[in-house]
Structure 1
Amino acid sequence: MRMRTRRSLSTAAGAVALLMVAAACSSDDPASPAGETGGATGGDLTVAGPIPIENLDPHGPASMDAGTQLAARAIFSQLVVSTGPGEFEGELAETWEPSADASVWTFTLRAGVEFSDGTPVTATDVVTSFERVMAGEGPLAGNFGGYTVAAPDESTVVFTSPTPDAAFLGKISSFFVTPQAAAQEGFFQDPIGSGPFVVESFEPGATLQLAPNPGYWDGEATLDSLEFQSIPEVAARMTALQTGEVDVTWGMPDDQITQLTSDSNITVENVPSPGVITMWMNASTPALQDPAVRRALWQAVDFESIIASLYPETGTPADSPVSPPVLGYAPQEPVEYDPDAAKAALDAAGFDYNTVIRWQFSQANFRNFVDAVVSDLAEIGVTVEPLEKEQAVFLEDLLALEWDMNLQQLGSQGFDAATNLGRLYTCAANRIGYCNEELDQILAEAGATSDKAQREDLYAQAIEIIWNDAVGMYPMFVEQPYAWRTGVEGFEPVPDGLPYFDEVAVSGD
C-alpha cells in the first residue's frame, strides 16, 4: 500500500492524542507503486465541493479559505500533514525536531522532490514561501507572529519563534510550499507546484481542471483528469451528483442526505469533524460592544430546535468554540433559549431596537439556518439583515470587519486549539473587533508550553472567557457528510472537508 499517512484522517477525529514535541519524527517508508485502488485505474473525476475555488494562492488573503486549501492540497505540497490531535506525518519534510523549549523547529526535507517543471524543491523555496506568507499578512500569517525562517543548507529549514510554540506543527500543516517564482504577477493563474496534480486551466469561481503530475514524489496520481466545479446552488449540486455530472461532493444539507442514501448508485458517509458553526459578533460595532447584549442575542435563538429541524444527521448542539476532537476542547454551560429573559436583558442594556444588524455569510446551504435565526431574533424585536456574499467578497469584508455578525464553519487546523483560538481571538489578530488582554496572556501561555495537561487547562480558561463574553454564538458541532457515485474507488472522506484525490480512480459506471 502506498505510504499516504493522510489516509488516517478519516478516523483521527475519534480520540485526542498526546502532543508530540519532545522527539524527532519521521515518515520515510518507501512509496509503493501508484494506482493501488483495488484494480481500478485512471478515469476522469469531477468534484463539486460546497465552497467555490476563487483563488489558487495559498499564501495570500484567501490562504485559509476552504476552496483555496482544497486546491492547494492537489497542486502544492505541505511540510507536514496532520493526522489527528498532536499527530503528524511528513510530506516534504522527512524529519523534524523541536528545541528543548519548542521555540526552534528544524526540518530536513525529503530528497529528490521536484516541482512539476522538473526543478528541485529546496530549503530556499520553503523560506521564500514562508516569507511571502508573512509579508502578505493574510489569515495564515496570524499563526506565526514574530517568526523567522532560515535555510542553513538546501535540505534544512529552521523556523525560530520569539517565544516557545508547542503548537507549531499544527499551524504549519496549513502551509504550502511554492517555487520562488510565485512572487511574480500572474503566477497563480497557471501555477507550478510539487503536488500530485498540475493545472490545465482555471476559471476562478467556476472550474479548475487538473491533470496528474508525472513527477510527483509519491507516485503519479491514478486519475487521468480531475476537475473541480463550482455549483453553489445545493439543489443543482445534488442533481449533478445523481445524474452523474458530478462524481463526488460533500457538505450536503441534512434534508438531502436521506434522499441520496436511497440512491443505489451513491455512497453516503458522515465523519466527525473539527468544525463548529460559528457566529461571531463584531464587538467594534457600537450596538454589540456590550457582552450582555451579545449574550442576550444568543439566548433569544432556539438553536436546539433549529438543529433538530435542519441538521438531524450532522448537527449536535455545541458547548465550546472548538469541537471534542480538538486538543484544548473544554465544555461550557450551554446558553439556554429564553426569549423573555433575552428581551429583558436587552432592555436593561439600553439596546436600540432601531439598529439593523448586518449578518454576512457565503454558503447557500446556510440559508435556511440564517432564516430561522433571523425569525427568532425578530420575535424579540431585533432586526437582522442577512447578506449572502460571493466568497471573495465575504473574505474581503470579513478581514475588513465590514459586518456586524458573521456566519461560517470554523475548524481547528492540526486538531489543535492554537490554530483556532490562538490565531483568531487575540487583540493583534483583530478578527472580531474584540480585545481582552487577559485572554491574550492565557493564549500566549497555552501556545508556549509543551505540557499537554497545562495546555488543556489554559485553553479551558480561554474558552470560558470567550464563551462568557459571548464573543460569538457557537450553536453546533458538525459532522462532515460526503457522497460519491458507484465506480469511484479509493476515495476516503476526511474530517476537515478537504479531501485528497491522488489515490482515487474511476471505473466503468
Structure 2
Amino acid sequence: MGTMTRRQFAKMAGAGAAALSVGGLLAGCASGGESAPAADKGDGAQTTPTTPNQVIVSMTPGSEPAAGFDPFVSWGCGEHVHEPLIQSTLITTDTDLNFVNDLATSYEASDDGMTWTFTIRNDVKFTDGQPLTARDVAFTLNGIRTGEASECDLSMVKEAVALDDTTVEIHMEKPFNALLYTLAVIGIVPEHAYDENYGDKPIGSGRYKLEQWDKGQQAILVANPDYYGDAPQMERVVVVFMEEDASLAAAQSGQVDVAYTAATFAANQPAGYDLLNCASVDSRGISLPCVPAGGTKVEQGDMAYEVGNDVTCDRAVRQAINYGVDRQKMIDNVMNGYGTVAFSVGDGMPWSSPDMQCTTDVDKAKKLLDDAGWTPGADGVREKDGVRASLNLYYSAGDSVRQAIAAEFANQMKDLGIEVSIKGASWDDLYPHQFTDPIVWGWGTNAPVETYNLFYSKGTGNYASYENPTVDAYLDEALAQPLVEDSFDFWKKAQWDGQAGIAPQGDAPWVWFANVDHLYFAKENLKVAKQKPHPHGHGWSLVNNVDQWSWA
C-alpha cells in the first residue's frame, strides 16, 4: 500500500481508461456460457436477462488487475485489498472484522511475537485436482516476500516454513501482529503450477474459478464445484470494467445488475434500481509535507524525488488547516451528503482515537496563524519571512469527487488567508509532487497498518515526510503485542498521548475530510449480502461475499 503500489495502480488505471461499449463487453455472458440476445424493454433500451445464478457488476478500470489474478503481484493483497475469491486464504474477516478461519484450523503466536504457527485443513484441492498443503502456503508467502513486483508488504516476514503437510511456521524479522490482516487477503497459489503466466490462467482452491478474461473489458468467474466450503449461491459473476459515465449508462440501459457510481451521479438513479450505500473506511485527505523545501528522497533504489514545502513545514499552518476546514460543509457541497466526516484514516475502528476529532473553528485557525507570524498581505494572502502562504494542491484528474474536494478546500482556505491553486493531473504527472505538495489522496483498509504506513518515519506511504520518535515507538509497541486486541491502546497513543502525536492539536501531518460512501445502483430484486466496511477502492471489495448473493 505504499508508493510503488500507487504508482503501479496509476499505470493500471490508465491502461483501461477508454469508455467501452457495454453491449460488446457482455457478449458471451449469459448463463451457461452461451451468448444471449438482450431483451427489448419496449422503450428502445436493452436489458440483460436476469438469471437466478448470475450477476453482472461494473467496476472502475483501475479495478482490473494489470498483472492478472496473481497474489504474487497485487490480486487481493495489493492497492485495493479484498478477498481473492479464486484462491483460498489462511484466515478471513467477518462483517464485524473478527478473524475467521478459512484454510487454517488454528493458529497462534509465540510469546515474543517472532513465530506464527498455522495448522491448515487436509481436505483442500486446487482446481487441477492436486492437494493444497502447507508447502503451498510457504511457497506463496516466500514468493510474495521476495518478489520485486509484489504490491503486498511482507518485509516483516523472515521466512515461511512448512513443517509437514498441515503445519506452517512464519518466522518474523520483527513482531508485527497486523500480519493477520494481510494474511486475510493473500490467496494461496500452487507451487507445482505457478509460473509467469499464472495471472492469466490462475489455479486456486477458492469459491470461484476464472472462466474468461477479456483484458480491458471484462472478467467472468464461475463457481468452483470442488470448493470445500458452502457452495456459492451466485454461480457466475461477470465483472465489466468501465468509467463512471459508462457505468451509469450501463445501469440506465439495464445491461448490468450492479453499477458503481459516485456522489456526483447518485441523483441519476435509474428506474428498477435501488441505491446501495455501503459504509466505508475509504478516507479522503490531504498530505501536508512537514519539512522545508530543498530535500531529496530516493525511492525503490534509484528514483529521486524532491522533498519539502516551505508553507506546510510550519506546524501552525498544518494545525490551522485542520481547525479551519468545515468537513461537513464539504460533504454536503461535494458529496451530496454521501459520506461521513473523517478525522483519521481509520475512524470508527477499534484502533482509532477520539483525540483525532476537532471542531471547525475558523477563529482558532486564524489565531494560530497570527501567533506564528503569518500576517495578511495586501491581497489577503498571508506571508511570513518572505514566504507567501500559497499552495499547489494536486488531485487525480479522472476523479470527479477529488476534483470537487480540491475546489471546495481551496475556497474554504481563502477565509484563513491561505491561497490554494488546484491542479488536476494524471497519476504519472502527479507522483513527482508526492513529497513536495499537498495531494488529495484516498486511503483506508480494515486494518491499522494504514496508520503505520502513513505516519511511521519509514512508512511506505509517508508522503508528509513526518518523523517523530515518540510516535514510532508507540507504533512499534502496538505491533509487538501478541494479541491484536492488546495493540489498540498503543495505536491510539500514536495519534495523541496528551502531549505528542499526529492529531490536529499535535503535529497534524495530514488533514482528513470524509469517509466516502461507496455507492452502487443495484437491481431491486437483487439481494446483496451484508457488507463489511469497504476499504479504499471502488471495486472488488463489494463482491467479497458475492457467493452469498441471490435473486428474489
TM beyond 0.5: yes
**How far does the alpha carbon of each residue in 1:226-274 deviate from its partner, in whole angstroms, 9 at most, with x for none?**
22112222x4323322322111134x333544553xx662233434333
Please, which of 391, 406, 410 is the counterpart of residue 370 of structure 1?
406
Q: d(CA) in 1 for partners of 2:195 and 2:249?
A: 40
Q: Does 1:446 align with 2:478?
A: yes
Q: 1:225 to 1:451 in 2, by over 3 A?
A: closer
Partner amino acid, structure 1, of 2:495: I
Bigger relative contact order (CA 8 A; separation at least 6): 1
Q: d(CA) in 2 for partners of 1:381 and 1:165?
A: 41
Partner amino acid, structure 1, of 2:474: I
Given that 2:138 and 2:160 are in contact with CA atoms closer than 8 Å, whether structure 1 keeps it comes out as yes
Cα RMSD between the aligned structures?
3.5
Please, which of 245, 248, 263 is the counterpart of residue 254 of structure 1?
263
Q: d(CA) in 2 for partners of 1:102 and 1:303?
A: 40
- Residue 177 of structure 1 and its aligned partner are, at CA, apart by 1.4
Please, which of 466, 471, 483 is the counterpart of residue 434 of structure 1?
466
Q: 1:389 to 1:232 in 2, by over 3 A?
A: farther
Given that 2:110 and 2:482 are in contact with CA atoms closer than 8 Å, whether structure 1 keeps it comes out as no
Partner amino acid, structure 1, of 2:488: E
Q: 1:86 to 1:222 in 2, by over 3 A?
A: closer
Which moved further from structure 2: 315-324 or 296-305? Answer: 296-305
Q: Superposition pairs for residues 339-358 of structure 1, below 5 Å?
A: 340=366, 344=370, 345=374, 347-348=383-384, 351-352=387-388, 356-358=392-394
Q: 1:139 to 1:291 in 2, by over 3 A?
A: farther
Q: Superposition pairs for residues 108-187 of structure 1, below 5 Å?
A: 108-136=119-147, 141-142=152-153, 144-180=155-191, 184-187=195-198
5+ residue gaps, structure 2:
1-49, 291-306, 375-381, 536-540
- Residue 450 of structure 1 and its aligned partner are, at CA, apart by 4.2
Give the match for residue 29 of structure 1: none
**How far does the alpha carbon of each residue in 1:476-503 deviate from its partner, in whole angstroms, 9 at most, with x for none?**
2344444411342454433226133223
Which moved further from structure 2: 100-109 or 148-157? Answer: 100-109
- More helix by proportion, 1 or 2? 1
Q: Does 1:466 align with 2:502?
A: yes
Q: 1:306 to 1:181 in 2, by over 3 A?
A: farther
Q: 1:79 to 1:142 in 2, by over 3 A?
A: same
SS at match of 1:347: strand
Q: d(CA) in 1 for partners of 2:131 and 2:123?
A: 7
Give the match for residue 424 of structure 2: 387
Give the match for residue 249 of structure 2: 239
Give the match for residue 12 of structure 1: none
SS at match of 2:403: helix
Q: 1:140 to 1:363 in 2, by over 3 A?
A: same
Give the match for residue 281 of structure 1: 288
Q: TM-score, normalised by structure 2?
A: 0.72
Segments of 4+ moved more than 6 angstroms: none
Q: d(CA) in 1 for partners of 2:391 and 2:264?
A: 34
Q: 1:273 to 1:347 in 2, by over 3 A?
A: same
Please, which of 200, 203, 214 is the counterpart of residue 189 of structure 1?
200
Given that 2:92 and 2:184 are in contact with CA atoms closer than 8 Å, whether structure 1 keeps it comes out as yes
Q: Quick one: percent identity of the two aligned structures? A: 20
Q: Does 1:327 align with 2:351?
A: yes
Give the match for residue 485 of structure 1: 523
**How far does the alpha carbon of each residue in 1:365-388 deviate from its partner, in whole angstroms, 9 at most, with x for none?**
433223322444467453434334
5+ residue gaps, structure 1:
1-39
Give the match for residue 476 of structure 1: 514
Give the match for residue 6 of structure 1: none
SS at match of 1:405: coil
Q: 1:206 to 1:401 in 2, by over 3 A?
A: farther
How many correspondences in the alignment? 455
- Residue 61 of structure 1 and its aligned partner are, at CA, apart by 5.9
Partner amino acid, structure 2, of 1:180: E
Q: Does 1:336 align with 2:360?
A: yes
Given that 1:46 and 1:228 are in contact with CA atoms closer than 8 Å, whether structure 2 keeps it comes out as yes
Please, which of 54, 59, 64 is the counterpart of residue 72 of structure 2?
59
